[in-house]
Structures are given as C-alpha cells and as structure tokens.
Amino acid sequence: MLVTTEAQTEAIRIASYRCDAGPDARPFTEMHEGYSVSYVRKGSFGYRTRGNAYELVAGSVLVGRPGDEYVCTHDHHVCGDQCLAFHLSAGFVDLIGGDDKTWRAGGVPPLAELVVIGELAQAAADGRSDVGLDELGMWFASRFVEVVSGAAKPSLASSALSRDRRRAVDAAMWIDANLQHDIGLDGAASEAGLSSFHFLRLFSQVLGVTPHQYLVRSRLRRAARLLAEDEHRPVTEVALDVGFADLSNFVRTFRRAAGVSPSGFRKAAKGDRKILQERIAALFDDGRLINASSRQPSCTTTSD
C-alpha cells in the first residue's frame, strides 16, 4: 500500500492510497483511528466491517468510524485500486453532523451528488485544479453527511455468493469502460451471461444501485473529470463523449448532482472561489469562512 499525504489542516487530512493487491493477497484486520470518507477512484475491492460485506467500485465511498475494525479483500480485480481519503477531525465531524447511523454506513454506492465532487478533488490532488484541496475535502464530507443521512440503508453484499459478487463487479467495470455507448439493461445482462431480471436483482443487491443508476453516475464522474481537466473542450462535446445524447438532459442531470451547471463547475475547478465559498460558509451558523491561509499542504510519502 502506497500512501501519500496531499494536504493537511487542523480540520482535515487528505491522502491518496494506491493498493496493488490482487486475489492472491492475504487479507488482514485493520482499525480506523478516526472518522474518514474515502472516494474510490479506480479498481474495486471488498470491504468487511462489523459483520457486513460491501463491494466497492469506482465512485463508491468507504466510511470509517473510530475504533471500527475492518478487512479489505481483493477477490475480483487484479489491477489494484486507488482511493482519495478525507480523514476528519472530531471537531469537524461535530460541525458537519451526521448521526451514528450515518457513520456506520460502511460502504456507500456511487452517488451522483458525490462523484462530481470526488472527481474535482482528485483533479486538485493531481494539480489540475486551482481550488484548495482542503476546501474540496470539506465540501465532499459535508455533502456526504447531507446525502447519506437522508438516504436509505445501502445494500449489502453479504448474502450474495462469491461468484455472483464477482459477476456484479465485473459488470460494473464493463459499464464503466463502455459508458460512451448506448447501454441498455438487456445488453449489460447479456454481457454478464444472465437474464435481465436476474442481472438487475444481483447488481442492485451487490452494489447498492441499479445498472442504469451506475451508468449515469459513471458518466457524471467522467464528465466532471473532463470539465476539470480541459477548460477549452465545449460542454456539448463533453456530454457526447460520456454518452449523453441530449445536452439539456446532461446539463439538468449534472446540475442536480453538483448543485451548479457544468460551466459553473468548470469555473470552480479553475479557481472561481465563489461557488465553494457559498457551500463552505453554509457549514457555519454565522457564515464565517475557514481562513484559506491556514492551509498547510504537505507532500510526504510513506509506504506500509
């Protein structure tokens, strides 16, 4: 496991995790030392905690709670995985709230409201955005609490057989690789070698979202990345490149997920602080912003 601390303040520490473990790796027990929300950037892995099992794919969120033991498994993917983790101070958790149920969520499936912020945060971590990474981390964590606190309990993979969990994960990887095409339920089910009904039930049970929901959220995740990386590519071209056939549908879907239009999101990625300031200010009863000058970025790298 390669761990790189990207930025750190009193409220939050952001770290990149790169794991090259595969099916032959022997799982071992670890423990969360604090609160964290980790955005899965690439690959897939299993997450076992408190007797529950989750299959996490690109766009999913791993939720850590202090004192919880967990085990990560890598049964279904041989290329490793990458995560961007937001480790939160107890004081910041008090600020953004969330009840015990929220912080016991374990693994959260890809949610449209989170994937767009997660991709922008990754762009900042890669040096492709002028936005402060700590600010994006606070936005991501607060949005996580807001969305998950009002969401239904995520589906668990515990009751699914190992071969079925692998089928669902492989199907998600295939959808992610072919999202620019017109993918229907029948086509995805055929690729998985299952009937449409069985595939829909299995995919939803293992990953917590339907195949169509995963497809739309994968498209939004890819669009957010393109908007953050290339300020000159027309929004219409971005929409078409990720599989949206209708521009108005793309703009409407993206705005509903991110809270801003694709153009506004691109401005935020290039350093327009007004959008972020409005969201971060909402965390404080008196409207005060966190002083950006207090950021203390770090670039230390460790391996364990």
Under a CB-based contact definition with an 8 Å cutoff, are residues 292 and 280 in contact?
Answer: no
pLDDT at residue number 64:
97
pLDDT at residue number 279:
64
Under a CB-based contact definition with an 8 Å cutoff, are residues 136 and 124 in contact?
Answer: yes
The model's pTM is: 0.83
Ordered per-residue pLDDT tens for the chain, 304 residues: 899 999 999 999 999 999 988 888 888 999 999 999 999 999 999 999 999 999 999 999 999 999 999 999 988 666 689 999 999 999 999 989 989 899 999 999 999 999 999 999 999 999 888 788 988 998 899 999 999 987 545 555 555 667 888 899 999 999 999 999 999 999 999 999 999 989 999 999 999 999 999 999 999 999 999 999 888 999 999 999 999 999 999 999 999 999 889 999 998 888 766 666 666 666 655 443 344 334 333 333 333 3
Calculate ∠ Cα 181-187-192, nearest 5°. 115
Place of tokens 């030392």: 33
Crossing angle of the two packed helices 196-207 and 162-177, in degrees rounded to 10: 100
Under a CB-based contact definition with an 8 Å cutoff, are residues 136 and 120 in contact?
Answer: yes
Residues in Cβ contact with 282 at an 8 Å cutoff, skipping those fewer than 6 apart = none
Between CA 104 and CA 65 the distance in angstroms is 7
Amino acid at 8: Q
pLDDT at residue number 284:
57
